[in-house]
Structure 1
Amino acid sequence: MPLPEPRTDDNSTADLTGVIRARRRQVWRRRLQLIGAVAGVLVIAAVLWFSPLLALDKVNVKGSKLVDQDKISESVLGSDGGTPLPRVRPGAVEKAVLEEFPRAKEASVHYAGPRSLNITITDRDPVLAITTSDGYQLFDDEAVDLGTVKKAPKGVTVLEESAGSPDQKTVSAVIRFMAGLRPSLRSDLASIHAKDEKNLAGVIDTGEAKAKVAFGDSTSASLKMRTALQLAADGRTEIDVSVPSVPVTN
C-alpha cells in the first residue's frame, strides 16, 4: 500500500512571504527616512555656512582699559565682517586680537546672537613704571610696553632715574626682578632705581616700616625681598641683600 504524500500548507508559505516583504519595506522605509533626515541637516548646515543672513556685522568688546575697544571691534569686523557666523572660529579671532593688540593678555570670544560676537579682554598688569618726560612708561612682567600715563598707577613700582635714562639691559634686569616677586611682595616695593643691570636698589614701605635696600642683580628676587622686609620690621633702615644669605644692615 503506497504511503501518503507530505501535505503542503500553501497558506502558511504565502503568509511567511508576505511577512518577509513587509519587513523589507519597513527596513527600506526607515533607511529612506534616515537618508532624508541627514540630507535635511546637510541642507540646513549649508544654508547656515554660506547664508548672508548670518553674516557677522557687530562685535561687542569689553573689559579693557589699556586697549581701545573700538579699534578691536573695527579690526575683527575688518577681517571677519560679512562672514557667516558659523564660519567664524572664536579661537582664530582670539589669536588675531592678541597678536594685533599686545597690551591684551587674554581675549575670550563668544557667539552673541546670529550676527554678532562678544569679546572680553583681560589687560596685562603693569609691574613697573619708568619716569619719562611725558609721565610714566608702563611695562608688564614680560617687558611688554603698556604705554605712557601721566600718573603711575597705585601699587606699581616706579623705576626712578639713575644718572640718566637706563639702557635696555638695565630695564630688562629690573623687569626680571619685578617678575620674580609675588604681588604681595611687589606692593611693598615703593620705588626702585638701577645704576646698571647688576646694581638694583629700592625703597620698601609697608606702612609700618620703611628702608633703603640694595638688591644687587635680578636673581632670587623673592628671597631678597622677604629678607629685607624681615630686617625692616626689626627697625633696620639701610639693608644690603645682594647676598641674601648674608645680609648687611645699618
Structure 2
Amino acid sequence: MSHTATRSPRGLDSSASRFRERALARRRRPWRRALATVLVLAVLAGAGWVLGWTQVLGLRDVEVVGVGGREARRVEQLVDVAPGTPLVRVDTSAVEAAVRQRVTVAEVSVHRSWPGTLVVDVVPRVAAIVVKNPAGRLQVVDATGVAFGTVKKAPKGVPVVTATGSRSMRPEALQAALALLRDLPEDLAGEVSALRVSSADLVTFTLRGHTVIWGGEAEPERKTRVLRALLTTKAKVIDVSAPDTPVTR
C-alpha cells in the first residue's frame, strides 16, 4: 500500500508568505538604490555649495613665506583676493602671475591651506654682483642679469663691477662679468674684487693682490689652471686672456 504525502495548510501559507516577501523585496530594491543615489548626490551638492559658494571655507589669511618684514608686506599687497572668497575658487595661477611681477621675486608658488589660508611661497632674488652706474649708484644684479634694487653699500662678499670706456654697462658686458664669477672655482670667485668690464671680451679684476686680465668668456677652465699657477709668482699683472700664451709683468 502506498501513501501520498500531503502539505499541511500551515506549510502552504508559510511558503506563500515567503514568496510574497521575496517578491516585494525585489520590487523595493531598485527604489532603495535610487533613494541612496539621490541622497549621495544631495550630500555632494551640499558639500560643493559649501566649498564654492559660501564663506565657511573662505579666505581668512594670506601667509607669505620665504621673505619677511617689509618685503613680505609688499608681496601680500599684490594678492588681490577679497577676504571671504571661497578658497577653492581662488585662481592660484593668477596670484602667482601678480606676485611674479615684483622684480625682487625670482620664483613664486601659491597653494591653499585649509580651512582658510592662502600660502604664498616666495624665492627672492639673490645678489650676484653690484654694478656701479655712471651716476655712482650701486645697482644689485642677480645671477641671471636682472637688476632688482639699489644699495648704499655692496653686500659683504658681493663684488662691485664697474663699466669702463662707456657711459653704461651693455648687456653682453654684464653677462661676461657674471660668466666670470660662475666659471671661476668658489675659492677664487670669493676673493675677486675691483671687477672692471670694458667690453664682453675684456674683463679684468683684482685677486690676491694681482691685477688679472681675464678677457672674454672663452676657455674658462684653461684660464683657471694658468691663473692658479701664476698666482704663486710676484707678478703684479697676470694676463690669461690668451691662456696658451699668458703674459705677466
Fold in common (TM above 0.5): yes
C-alpha spacing 1:247/1:134, structure 2 compared with 1 (3 Å): closer
Match of 1:68 in 2: 71
8 A contact 1:202–1:214 mirrored in 2: yes
Q: Is the 8 A contact 2:163 2:169 kept in 1?
A: no
Aligned residue for 1:46?
49
Structure 2, unaligned stretches of length 5 or more? Answer: none
* Conservation of the 8 A alpha-carbon contact between 1:67 and 1:103: no
The one-character-per-residue Cα deviations of 1:90-149 (angstroms, maximum 9, x if unpaired) are 344223311x11321122333345333232322112111112445411111221112110
Deviation at 1:14, TM superposition (A): 5.9
Q: 1:91 to 1:182 in 2, by over 3 A?
A: farther
Deviations 1:133-192 (A, max 9, x none): 454111112211121101111221211352454431423432344444565553232231
What aligned pairs does 1:58-137 form with structure 2 within 5 A after superposition? Answer: 58-64=61-67, 68-76=71-79, 79-82=80-83, 83-98=85-100, 100-132=101-133, 133=135, 135-137=137-139
Q: 1:15 to 1:84 in 2, by over 3 A?
A: same
Indicate if the aligned counterparts of 1:204 and 1:229 stay in contact, CA closer than 8 A.
no
Could you say if the C-alpha distance between residues 123 and 230 of structure 1 is closer, same or farther in structure 2, counting changes exceeding 3 Å? farther
Q: How many Å separate the matches in 2 of 1:219 and 1:67?
A: 42
CA distance in 2, matches of 1:67, 1:165: 33
Give distance in 1, aligned partners of 2:19 and 2:248: 105
Q: Which residue of 2 aligns with 1:157?
A: 159
1:154 partner amino acid: K
Q: Which has the larger radius of gyration?
A: 2
Q: Which residue of 2 aligns with 1:224?
A: 223
Distance 1:249 1:17, change over 3 A: farther
CA distance in 1, matches of 2:210, 2:122: 38
Task: After TM superposition, give the deviation of residue 24 of structure 1 in Å.
Answer: 5.2
Measured in 2, the distance between the counterparts of 1:22 and 1:184 equals 84
Tell me: CA distance 1:135–1:101, structure 2 relative to 1, closer, same or farther (3 Å). Answer: same
Distance 1:25 1:220, change over 3 A: farther
Alignment check: 8 A CA contact 2:191 2:207 kept = yes
**Is the contact between residue 163 and residue 198 of structure 2 (CA under 8 Å) also seen in structure 1?**
no
Per-residue CA deviations over 1:15-52 (Å, capped at 9, x if unaligned) read 35633542553454244224312321222212221213
TM-score normalised to structure 2 length: 0.77
Task: Please tell me whether the aligned partners of residues 57 and 81 of structure 1 are also in contact (alpha carbons under 8 angstroms).
Answer: no
Distance 2:233 2:28 in 1: 93
CA RMSD of aligned residues (A): 3.4
Q: Secondary structure at the match of 2:78?
A: helix
Structure-2 change in CA distance of 1:36 and 1:214 (3 Å): same
Question: For the structure 1 residues 195 and 63, does the alpha-carbon distance in structure 2 shift closer, same or farther, using more than 3 Å as the test?
Answer: same
Aligned-pair identity in percent equals 28
Q: Distance in 2 between matches of 1:42 and 1:223?
A: 69
Query: Is contact 2:96-2:110 (8 Å) kept?
Result: yes
- For 1:66 and 1:244, the matched residues in 2 are separated by 48
Q: Retained in 2: the 8 A contact 1:63–1:122?
A: yes
Q: Count residues with an aligned counterpart.
A: 239
Deviates more, 1:102-111 or 1:142-151: 102-111
For residue 171 of structure 1, the aligned residue among 174, 177, 181 is 174
